[in-house]
Amino acid sequence: MIRPMHLIRLIQINFVLMRYAINRPVLKKQPWWLRTLSYLNPLSFFNRGKTRGESIRLALESLGPIFVKFGQVLSTRRDLLPDDIADELAKLQDRVPPFPSDKAIQIIETTYKKKIRELFHTFDDAPLASASIAQVHSATLHDGSEVIVKVLRPKVHKIIQKDIALLYSVAKMTERFWAQGKRLRPVALVAEFEQTIIDELDLMREAANASQLRRNFIDSDIMYVPKVYWKFSKTNVMVMERIYGIPIADMATLKAKKTNMKKLAERGVSIFFTQVFRDSFFHADMHPGNLFVDISNPEDPRYIGVDFGIMGSLAPEDQRYLAENLLAFFHRDYRRIAILHIESGWVPADTRIDQFEAMIRTVSEPIFEKPFGDISFGQLLLRLFQTAERFNMEIQPQLMLLQKTLLYVEGLGRQLYPELDLWTTAKPFMENWMREQHSLKNIASESFKDWQTTAEKVLKTPRLVYDVLNKANTQQQILQPHRITTVTQQERKSSKKPFFLGAGLGLLIVSGISFLTHQTTITTTSHWQWAVIATGGLFVLLSLIAPSRS
């Protein structure tokens, strides 16, 4: 049900759309009945002299942070939008109208309870960049370090909470009144989006994200992540190392400096897949406003990332299923794709594999007949989801960020290098990752991470088995009261046999895993490893010499 506060917000949205979107520049090439609306709309006269791109951008800016985020996503999809609209929406990435600098200084001084000159040697009043959630000022610390100061917009929490509440109402109505509503899981998608944007409002969380990503790429020659100054980091203000680079959207400068655009585009794809599969921790807001390029060596360009408020992560099972699906697409193994979707629970378990396989083939084959460089992965996903409706395929909220980021990467890569072959660039990475996941060394390494817990369970297993058997034997004796069993000293000794055998084998298995994981040799084996081997061998020996029960 729409609440009064939601109704007021809907009226505001309608007012903005009437002023900026329902006008002749935007509707010029639309059907006649839509163009007629622009003549009947009295507010359209306030928007004279604006192009359609400007009108759409101004509408999104006026509607607030959530709508600006939507515009940022659209700005990278030049395969879906005309250039004039895409160029205007690109301004939403870091050129949203700033809030007053004196307000930013007031927030900083209130947060630290110090005057601005006590905190920084210099502080630039003019914002360096301004986005939907926060704006950035350049500054210098008293030790001479050049930094940027990021400050949240005033009252941004309240604005976002109102729009999120409205989205929840719309999502619940969608689930209730639309036949496809439950399959699309709109409430779950809004919840996922809410968690993402709420996390972005906590700058301490962003600082932690930046630190983690910096560690992941600390020795990388393809990406640099700036340093966080934790002493100055708070929930609404954060301070980071200032970086210098060419904005990735400045194609003219990159080309004038003779940057290797092919390598730059391919490295963007490599960074994405490395974050998703190697680290399971990826920058989920990779629009051009958050990426710069270090071209100190134009033939060997390096990415510089900023703005780490939105990060994504995948569970190991989602990583594996995603990787196997992508590889199956690379090899056109449509049956494997159908089976994976059913195994992962993305489609109902009673789905007929042959029918689902045929549907995937029908969608994919025409696309794969194109040169790889012309294939849009985003378009393929869209077609698959549309066609999968008849199989009741559910939207996966945990993959929403990944899908958005992949669209960013693909759109940006094609801008940098139109001949970019996303599939061929990604395929070797995926194949190597899958090989590593199934290697004996990786399996042993994963097992050894919890070797203490595993060893404890192995050692307890014989005793647990003995207790279960002993309990069953006791129950049998209760059911047979006339049978009297005498346990001799010999039998008591023999009951220890399975315990010694299980414990010994368990210790020897743990030792073997240790050798495989650390590639240990006889000369480098530590004293504790020899002790575990000796104890395991002794337990196995005791199990062999213990008398058997006749």
The residues annotated as belonging to the active site are: 285
Token code pair at residue 456: 């404890």
DSSP string computed for 4-43: HHHHHHHHHHHHHHHHHTSSHHHHTTS-HHHHHHHHH-GG
Show Cβ contacts of residue 182 under 8 Å, excluding neighbours closer than 6 positions: 175
Q: How many CA atoms lie within 13 A of 219 on its CB side?
A: 0
Helices (H), ranges, 369-496:
377-387, 400-416, 422-437, 440-449, 451-479, 489-494
Distance CA 538, CA 528 (A): 15
Distance CA 76, CA 239 (A): 28
Burial of 368 (0-12, 13-18, 19+ CB in 10 A): middle
According to DSSP, residue 279 is labeled: I
Q: Which of 154, 409, 385 is nearest to 290 (CA)?
A: 409
Distance CA 156, CA 303 (A): 30
Show Cβ contacts of residue 179 under 8 Å, excluding neighbours closer than 6 positions: none
Our CA angle for 494, 477, 548, nearest 5°, is 15
Distance CA 284, CA 538 (A): 54
